Amino acid sequence: MELTKGLIALFLTMILTQNFILAKFLGICPFLGVSKKLDTALGMSLAVIFVMALSTAVTYPINKYILVANNLEYLQTIVFILVIAALVQMVEIVLKKYIPALYNSLGIYLPLITTNCAVLGVVTLNVDNGYDFIHSLICSLGGGVGFLVAMVMFAGVRSRLESCDVPKFLKGLPITLIAASLVSVSFLGFAGLVEGIFG
Amino acid sequence: MAEKKSLGKEFSKGIIIENPVLRLVLGTCPTLATTTSVTSAIGMGISASIVLICSNIAISALRKVIPAKVRIPAYIVVIASFVTIVQMLVKAFVPVLNEQLGVYLPLIVVNCIILGRAEAFASKNGVLASAVDGLGMGIGFTAALFVMGTIREILGAGTFLAGFGGLIGNNFDGFSIPFLNSNPILIFILAPGGFFVFGLVMALANKLAESKGKPKAELKGCENCPMAKICNVRDKVEGCDKKEVEA
């Protein structure tokens, strides 16, 4: 019971107060790049959730039983990025061959995700925080869902922005960033919420 | 003589005309995350620049050895190795910086500026030109971080260069700004302030570029992205011309 409570609290924290995009600035490139349309935002986020959970599940045993067991912690960065890159490549090949429909909707985002800081970020954060397997997995799932929430919300904001009369020098990227700042302010309102419920 | 002139050009383009952060819109994650204080901004800028210069040199030297098909994984290995070296050096000699940058130090691996320069420049040019390109881009990156960090630290904490002594090994603790020091506008060092200041600095850069007759910075989606050639999303993103990328 205590464990379940802790896991739910961690999951909510990752979505609301420690949101990957809006509080930790991980994965800003796709946030600004593919959030123009709702369907691309959704596809990208679902692919991110999948890759984040999968790479956490794969890197955790590698880290624990190969790197830490042999005092090779200093190789973490290299090993993690290579494992993620290889994993993404393999998932892409498998999807293309066996589930072409899924490949067409999600698979096309996979190569972009290799160099997405959110994925390497969550794996590194799990190690830094010393989470066990189940906490790591929940942390990455929560991070992924938080990514989805921020992307989908922001896609809505951006579609409104299209029809606004913006001062000339703010057009394009600057106003997008300022809009992101306001979305981020709204997420500040969640501070203390999780502690309030579960504390 | 011609050689010398073009080297100067490679160097200076990274600082202003093709500033990686403000003009090419690359490396946005560290720009937003590490500019809460000038000290960590400078630390991040220097660490990333060292990795950039070293990986540019190594990739340019190996450009005829690396097969084209596996070049992206090969670049990632080279970059990750240098990041690991920098990480170990920072941990050993500047532990304060390691604490400040935290997870963003290993994340230099996925900084688009570094992979982007490897793909766009170092894989096509000589060692010397690549080193100079890396130096210019590194200074441009550090300068943009410095500007962002200055605005955010002065407004958000009321200090300037606080804790800088930790970086260079003495007890210099920066300057405190009167009034703002006791009444800091905290939101500037929180996440929303990062987006806001970045937006305004970008607007200013666009304004300056416009007065010089240059096009304004635009997230072109793919043109600057190192993954452009292997990625398929560009068909779905507006303004992403497949032919343009492949040309």
Among A24-28, A51-55, B80-84, the minimum mean pLDDT is found in A24-28
Residue A198 is assigned to a structural domain of this protein? no
Q: Answer whether A183's CB lies under 8 Å from A154's CB.
A: yes
pTM of the full predicted structure? 0.88
Answer yes or no: do B193 and A181 touch at CB < 8 A: yes
Q: Does A100 touch chain B (CB under 8 A)?
A: no
Residue B239 has pLDDT above 50, yes or no: no
Residue B94 is assigned to a structural domain of this protein? yes
Are residues B175 and B242 part of one domain? no
Looking at the structure of chain A, the number of domains it has is: 1
**Chain B: residue whose CA lies nearest to A33:** B221
Residue B101 has pLDDT above 60, yes or no: yes
Looking at the structure of chain B, the number of domains it has is: 2
Are residues B178 and B77 part of one domain? yes
Are residues B192 and B221 part of one domain? no
Query: Which has the closest alpha carbon to A51: A99, A139, A118, A133?
Result: A118
B8 CA: distance to closest CA in chain A (Å) = 30
Are residues B100 and B86 part of one domain? yes
Q: Does A158 touch chain B (CB under 8 A)?
A: no
Residue B203 is assigned to a structural domain of this protein? yes
Work out the pLDDT band at B242, boundaries 50, 70, 90.
Answer: very low
Query: How far apart, in whole angstroms, are the C-alpha atoms of residue B150 and residue A158?
Result: 29
Are residues B238 and B168 part of one domain? no
**Cβ within 8 Å of B, A 34-93:** 34, 36-37, 40, 44, 74-78, 81-82, 85
Q: What are phi and psi of A52, to 5 degrees?
A: -65, -45
Residue B2 is assigned to a structural domain of this protein? no
Spatial CB neighbours of B59, under 8 Å, sequence gap ≥ 6:
B66, B75, B78, B118, B122, B123, B130
Read off the pLDDT of residues B169-209 as tens digits, 9 standing for 90 and up.
Answer: 777 777 888 888 888 888 998 999 999 999 999 999 888 88
Query: How far apart, in whole angstroms, are the C-alpha atoms of residue A12 and residue A24?
Result: 15
Residue B1 is assigned to a structural domain of this protein? no
What range defines the domain where residue B117 resides? 7-211
Residue B22 is assigned to a structural domain of this protein? yes
CB atoms within 10 A of CB A129: 12
Is the Cα dihedral B149, B150, B155, B158 positive or negative?
Answer: positive
Residue A1 is assigned to a structural domain of this protein? no
Answer yes or no: do B237 and A36 touch at CB < 8 A: yes
Residue B135 has pLDDT above 90, yes or no: yes
Residue A92 has pLDDT above 60, yes or no: yes
- Token pair for residue A161? 């922005």
Q: Which residues of A touch B194 (CB under 8 A)?
A: 25, 181
What range defines the domain where residue A73 resides? 12-189
Residue A195 is assigned to a structural domain of this protein? no
* Mean pLDDT of all residues in A164-185: 88
Read off the pLDDT of residues A50-84 as tens digits, 9 standing for 90 and up.
Answer: 899 999 999 999 999 999 999 988 899 999 999 99
Q: In the prediction, which pLDDT does B150 show?
A: 94
ipTM: 0.88
Q: Which residues of B touch A75 (CB under 8 A)?
A: 84
Work out the pLDDT band at A101, boundaries 50, 70, 90.
Answer: confident
**Chain A: residue whose CA lies nearest to B33:** A25
